Amino acid sequence: MSLRDTIAAIATPPGVGGIGVIRISGPEAEGIALRLFRPSSPLEGLVSHRLHHGRIVSPETGDVLDEALVTLLKAPRSFTGEDTVELHCHGGPYVLRTVLEEILRLGARLAERGEFTKRAFLNDRLDLAQAEAVLDLINARTREGLQAAVGGLEGRLSGRIDAIRGRVIDLLAGIEAAIDFTAEDGMEPPDGGTAPLDALIDEIRTLAASYHRGKVLREGIGVVIAGRPNVGKSSLLNRLLGQRRAIVTPVPGTTRDFIEETVDIGGIPVRLTDTAGIRPPGDAVEEAGIELVWERIAGADIVLMLLDGSAELAEDDLQIIGQVREKPLLAVINKRDLPERLDVGRLKGLLPPSVPPVIRISAKYGEGLESLEEAIRSLALATPSEGDEVTISHLRHRVALEAAAEHLQLARDGMRDGIPPELTAIDLRGALEALGEITGRTTTEDILASIFANFCVGK
């Protein structure tokens, strides 16, 4: 990729809308815009960071293509760090495509996926962790996921990594000074104390351990509602969604296929799946539906095993318990608005000790749902929230942190064993390189290509 050329792309999603934005970035951005734009009021040139009203006109035919607002963002005060022009056109696909074709005809090329953000990284407007946070921000599906992405874009993770790198650099400087100078030069060798390294290793491993929480907030989890027929699975799905999505009847076996919807539960995007009731199948269609249930259960992050509290445990209930007991599981007793006949003590004896306390709800009247949602959140995150702690949400961050911790552990063990300081310095440099991969200080082109390939064209 060359930073000397000029790129352009439609920056708004496909489809019809009130406004569509075309972004141009590069050394020819302003010149291309001036050849297309006819301002409503006479101008000597575009004023940076100000909206100008006018028409978009084809230089070749003189045809008016659209009425638009145009803004110039002069380098380096732009997202990419380059001269950037944004054309705010009417949001019709044909209008935007026609204007973009004129821009390309005038010398720009079509931007690659994520190329605007990649240029922002290469021009030091963002580091790599912040660039990834841009994508997280776009894809956020809950307020908590949004806040985590905003924190990443503001540099909270980058700041933590830079602080850790600074402490490693200080240790490396001390080691290298001991190598280069002797006591006769007035430089004392390190005393062999490993407490600073111990603290760094603990901090890095704690940050690496936050990956599960960050991944759940970013990607969400899959929750399957399972149970025998007519225990209220579809009613529970409708309650959690806040709308009538599944058909509810008193006839057992109404649900033959699974229904899947996503809902925000405690800040986590949860893919809820309502499944067919599990029982000996009555026909080939029901048998196929039940096979799908077991497939969904196998791939679920959490299984909500729903039981009818107004009836005794049935043979179908026992079969389900036996099949799902090894999964992350919540036992939910429905119909608490009716007299309870289910033997809860027997139920608890059938469940693994690790299963959270039984939850009683009424899907019909919406009772107990807050407790259920909190239990889903707690089981999904596995760790309690600690306020505004920094979390990581990308696997490559965890891998880099684990590599850095391993290098620091080798350095610590080497200091304890009295190995030459030159070898300790090599391990410390390895830790710095691993940490640098997170923010892009030591990142290869292959990693950059992999990251920005996940972006859309125009961002």
Q: What is the pLDDT of residues 51-109, one digit of tens each?
A: 999 999 999 999 999 999 999 999 999 999 999 999 999 999 999 999 999 999 999 99
* More confident of the two residues 251 and 51: 51
pLDDT above 70 as % of the chain: 89
Predicted confidence band at 286 (pLDDT cuts at 50, 70, 90)? low
Q: What is the pLDDT of residue 188?
A: 46
Helices (H) and strands (E) in the chain, counts: 16, 13
Strands (E), 82-151: 84-91, 109-110
Give the pLDDT confidence of 365-424 residue by residue, as tens digits.
Answer: 999 999 999 999 999 998 655 555 789 999 999 999 999 999 999 999 998 888 888 899
Give the SS3 label for residue 52. Answer: strand
386 part of a folded domain: no
Rounded CA separation 6/110 (Å): 9
Give yes or no: residues 408 and 425 share one domain: yes
Give yes or no: residues 103 and 154 share one domain: no
- Biggest alpha carbon distance in the chain? 92
* More confident of the two residues 271 and 3: 271
CATH number at residue 315: 3.40.50.300
Number of domains in the chain: 3
155 part of a folded domain: yes
Rounded CA separation 239/178 (Å): 67
Give yes or no: residues 15 and 111 share one domain: yes
> For the purposes of burial, counting CB atoms within 10 Å of the CB of 155, is it exposed (0-12), middle (13-18) or buried (19 or more)?
middle
Give yes or no: residues 299 and 358 share one domain: yes
Q: Angle CA(372)–CA(377)–CA(379) in degrees, nearest 5?
A: 95
CATH number at residue 188: 1.20.120.430
Whether the Cβ atoms of residue 376 and residue 270 lie closer than 8 Å to each other: yes
Cis peptide before 76 (omega within 30 of 0): yes
Give yes or no: residues 342 and 410 share one domain: no
Give yes or no: residues 198 and 174 share one domain: yes
Considering the chain, what is the average pLDDT of its residues? 88
457 part of a folded domain: no
Instruction: Name the least confident of 99-108, 208-217, 447-456.
Output: 447-456
Q: What is the pLDDT of residue 348?
A: 93
* More confident of the two residues 65 and 177: 65
Instruction: Name the least confident of 82-86, 125-129, 159-163, 238-242.
Output: 238-242
Q: What is the pLDDT of residue 276?
A: 74
Give yes or no: residues 272 and 293 share one domain: yes
377 part of a folded domain: yes
Give yes or no: residues 16 and 91 share one domain: yes
Residue type, 377: R
197 part of a folded domain: yes
pLDDT above 90 as % of the chain: 67
Per-residue buried b or exposed e for 181-208, using 16+ beta carbons within 10 Å of the residue's own CB: eeeeeeeeeeeeebeebeebbebbeebb
Q: What is the pLDDT of residue 185?
A: 45
239 part of a folded domain: yes
Q: How confident is the model over 110-133, as a mean pLDDT?
A: 94
Q: How confident is the model over 9-36, as a mean pLDDT?
A: 94
Q: What is the pLDDT of residue 183?
A: 45
Whether the Cβ atoms of residue 252 and residue 232 lie closer than 8 Å to each other: no
Give yes or no: residues 55 and 185 share one domain: no
Q: How confident is the model over 331-346, as a mean pLDDT?
A: 94
408 part of a folded domain: yes
Place of tokens 């992405």: 149
Instruction: Name the least confident of 191-195, 322-326, 374-378.
Output: 191-195
Predicted confidence band at 248 (pLDDT cuts at 50, 70, 90)? very low
Predicted confidence band at 279 (pLDDT cuts at 50, 70, 90)? low
> Looking at the predicted structure, is the pLDDT value of residue 187 above 50?
no
Give yes or no: residues 44 and 121 share one domain: yes
Q: What is the pLDDT of residue 386?
A: 52
> Looking at the predicted structure, is the pLDDT value of residue 453 above 70?
yes
Give yes or no: residues 252 and 372 share one domain: yes
397 part of a folded domain: yes
Predicted confidence band at 244 (pLDDT cuts at 50, 70, 90)? low
- pTM for this one? 0.83
Give the pLDDT confidence of 411-451 residue by residue, as tens digits.
Answer: 999 988 888 888 999 999 999 999 999 999 887 788 888 88
CATH number at residue 61: 3.30.1360.120
Give yes or no: residues 291 and 228 share one domain: yes
Q: What is the pLDDT of residue 296?
A: 86
User: Which domain, by its residues, includes 429?
Assistant: 133-210+391-440
